[in-house]
Structure 1
Amino acid sequence: MQIAVHLWATGRGTISSLSFLIIRDVASVFRSDCFDTCFVNTYKSFIGHCQFLEPVLFQHIQFLRNSCVELCSVDLQKASRKASMSIQQLAKILKQGLLTKKKEAVKKICSWQYTSCIDLWVMFISANIHDYDLHPLLFTIIQIINGVAVLFSGPRYLPLRIKCIQWLNHLSSSTGIFIPVASMVLDILEYKIGKDVGKPGKDTNILFSKAYWLKSRNFQEQCVLSVIELLAAHFAQWSHHISFPDLATIPLVRLGKFHEITTIESFKRIVKRFIDQVEQNIEFVRKKRDEVPFSPKDQQSVESFLQLEKHSGNTSFTQYYKSIMDEAVSRNLAFFEKFSEAEEITKKAQKKIKLSQKERVTEGVNGRHSGKRKGTVSVDGGREEKMRRKENS
């Protein structure tokens, strides 16, 4: 089992996939005896590999996370107990950080291991909540995510804040439970932007941002794009709900104020397009709502409101949301391609440096011992060469 877990965690592609199949089969066949062992070993290995995470490893870490979720699905009863223990530990760490604000306590929370644990349990709950009663875990993990967002609310932690909102949106979408995120999203627009120092860069794939990036045009752009993408995802879940006009009112007011204040035309266009799409959907829902004969107390009728339109996926706002997500995927793909190219160039440069250093060392050795065979060193300290010089003189 230890060998299979090691190959699963450290291997790539086929080796990692086949190793996980062995782990899953053992846990499935010998469920009562081996599930705990399989889960504990894979969980520890997953967390261990999340200690130092680089963008080039993101896809592999996602595979490890998805594997853990699939393994948990083998025995939901035991997995839910393990998840409860882990989530309670996350809550204790967060509580310590919120109460003390000490550097070490806060550092534990703003770490790849802590956020990867949250990510794992968010995916586990989302995948299995309809098959097993995981609502106590759901409400606890929501409180933890909100606590993390409160603790790290400054512009430097924009990437972590975005991740928190994405988790909440994912939980809301998979469970069908309304989770308010609009205020948390719109607070991003309140970040104070410093004077542009002209340093390019994109920093959304780490937990916090470099200081110089906070003063760049890229940071301003990332703030605006993130707000639009996150709000679009949130609204898309409820764009066919009978209460959508009420849900969208305050966010539209705040976005309208930002549209009036900003002087950057590209930002104005992005925000105006979003506002127009939301207002169009508000009008659509309001018109349909005025036509229905049932009262708000008729829960069954409320739940069935516009469900045919929702499942068809042909409404204007749904199409707009898809285009927004496609653009986001394209940007992220371009970033990873640039990162991979940069990584390859760096490796080649490092290889050239090592080769040149090795050549200089070899030349230095050969220069000091030119009278000997290449690559040999005198063992008598050069006394023979000194005697020959005296005889010649």
Structure 2
Amino acid sequence: MKLLQRLFLLFLFICVTTVALAQTSAELRRNKEAIQREIDLLQRNLNETSSTKRLTMGQIRAINSKIRLMQNKISIINSEVKNLDNQIHENTNEVHSLKSQLGQLKNEYAGMVRFAQRNRNAYEKMMFIFASDNFNQAYKRIKYFQQFGQYRKKQADYIQGTQKKIEYKIVVLDKNLKEKSNLLTEQQQEKVKLGKNKTEQAQMLNQISRQEKQFRQDIAARKRKQAEIDRAIRSAIQREIELARKKAEEEERLAAQKAIAEGRPVPVAKEKTNSSYLTASPESAKLSAGFENNRGRLPWPVGQYSIVERFGNHTEGQANYTNDGINILTEQGAAVKAVFEGEVLFVRELYGTYIVALRHGDYFTIYQNLKTVSVAKGNKVETKQTLGVVASKEDGPVLHFEIMRGQTKLNPEAWIAK
């Protein structure tokens, strides 16, 4: 019976381990497929923008992003191979263990067969029962013969079941080995592609050095344009803060007048911050709380996406600049959607494209580089509602996306879903 218990525990362990590994492998495959979609998107954009005679910053950022994604994909393939190696090792050990258990079961069964052969006729069984010292012993010997027969049948079933388990694990093991072979082939192909892209990157960097002056001028022009856009955004937010402040002060003044008229003490006004002004109304407070509770879970503002420039400081050649949001490459004519419900703070056209800013309590989301817009100032919008269509310039269809709390810039990657 101890042997049977060990077999059951071994089988249970096999099932649990197989499910856990399968879940991990499925997650790795999903991540790999998502990365490949980004790589394909970047490659399509590079194919479209490479027709221009002059190398652009967008092309450089796209090839850099593509190389980073390809390295991530190779890393995932390495993890998949490691997972399969673990599965192969465990399945091999399980086959050896099951074969050992099968040998023990067969030995036990052979012993029972030999015993049955020695007591095969009814006369010998009857003599064994009649040789009992008393009635109780005779009864026990009868029960023994009955249980022995049942146990022998069970042993035969366990032997057959163990053989089937071994056959199944050998099939799984063979499948694992084929999967590993396919993954190693895929890994080698990706390394070859990565090498070609690094060569292309080196050629671009060499071209940058020859166009250094032009790139510095392009970055300086970008800084001037972005500074003007930032001033417009900050001015609009500051006006919202001032309106909220005046409204709060007026409410406090009316409350004080009412208290004096009723002979009650005048309420002491609490010191307020910009955030407290912006969340003074129950509706604004609810929006702020909802936005904050969805940190890391906000939907992407476009359907297909690849981040080609991240939040923070950047260096291109000898030029330095700061990106207060993220630049998202998407598809031509992609719809730009609100990442959370709120109100349109403003819609403005600057340098031939539109900017849309939404207010979510004391949080703001900004969507730059729209070709057309479908909302207007003061409109209420829902999560995933279309705001407009992304514009496509020399760098391709790139959306610049920002998140702010009051006047503070936040890293959008910390807020949108992974």
- With the length of structure 2 as denominator, give the TM-score of the two structures: 0.18
The TM-score, its normalising length taken from structure 1, stands at 0.19
Bigger relative contact order (CA 8 A; separation at least 6): 2
Q: Say which structure is richer in strand.
A: 2
Bigger radius of gyration: 2
